[in-house]
Chains A and B, each alone.
Chain A
Amino acid sequence: AQSVSQHNHHVILSEAASLELGCNYSYGGTVNLFWYVQYPGQHLQLLLKYFSGDPLVKGIKGFEAEFIKSKFSFNLRKPSVQWSDTAEYFCAVRGSSNTGKLIFGQGTTLQVKP
């Protein structure tokens, strides 16, 4: 069965620390990959996405993610976090067979201390 696993459920960092959130997926074919973010009191927003091409993708607010096909991973990174990055982060995968279905990980809550 298709699944997405986010290894860190709750991460606490100080401002200016580097961030890496892990995401691994289980799917036997071509995939589209996404990271969404949900800031406190706001709705789910797209952070970045990978469809094809350069496996290193850049998103909004200085975030980037690297698709490593051999490891079935799509980890999210940011070199220096800010207090405003406090949010819940969701990794999602969609198979290429166009079922319309996004499969989400359980989410990682990031708390950045000022």
Chain B
Amino acid sequence: EAGVTQSPTHLIKTRGQQATLRCSPISGHTSVYWYQQALGLGLQFLLWYDEGEERNRGNFPPRFSGRQFPNYSSELNVNALELEDSALYLCASSKPGQMQETQYFGPGTRLLVL
């Protein structure tokens, strides 16, 4: 069974640009989660999508946004990039429905903002 996949693996942007990161969940999973792993800040929850809807977002500004497509894949968009957005962005997925579901993580996209 294929795991969570993310693309691209690396992304270099300049300040003020927009970045788009993509995630494909494990087959049969309908929930997708995004996390930011910035140096010195640890893993922080960004967004949760389930059945195409945004269910929850972490303490991040509105320029962090995303969407979930009918096939349950997801995009994370970061507008007006700032230097401090440089980080590893992890996507995770889980099965539908129950609260007690485990999140399985992808390899991440490393974003560097110059």
Contacts and interface: CB of A to CB of B under 8 A. Distances in A.
A36 interface: yes
Contact of A102 (B31, B55, B103): B103
B103 to A, nearest CB: 6
B89 interface: no
Interface class of chain B by DSSP: strand
B45 interface: yes
Interface string B86-114: 00001000000001101111111000000
Contact of B105 (A43, A49, A105): A43
Nearest to B42: A106
Interface of A: 32, 34, 36, 42-46, 49, 51, 90, 92, 96, 98-107
Contact of B102 (A49, A90, A101, A105): A49
Interface of B: 3, 31, 33, 35, 42-45, 48, 50, 55-56, 58, 90, 99-100, 102-108
Nearest to B3: A43
Contacts of A100: 31, 33, 45, 48, 50, 55-56
Given A32-B100, A44-B90, A98-B99, A103 B45 contact: yes
A90 B44 CA distance: 12
B24 to A, nearest CB: 14
A43 B106 contact: yes
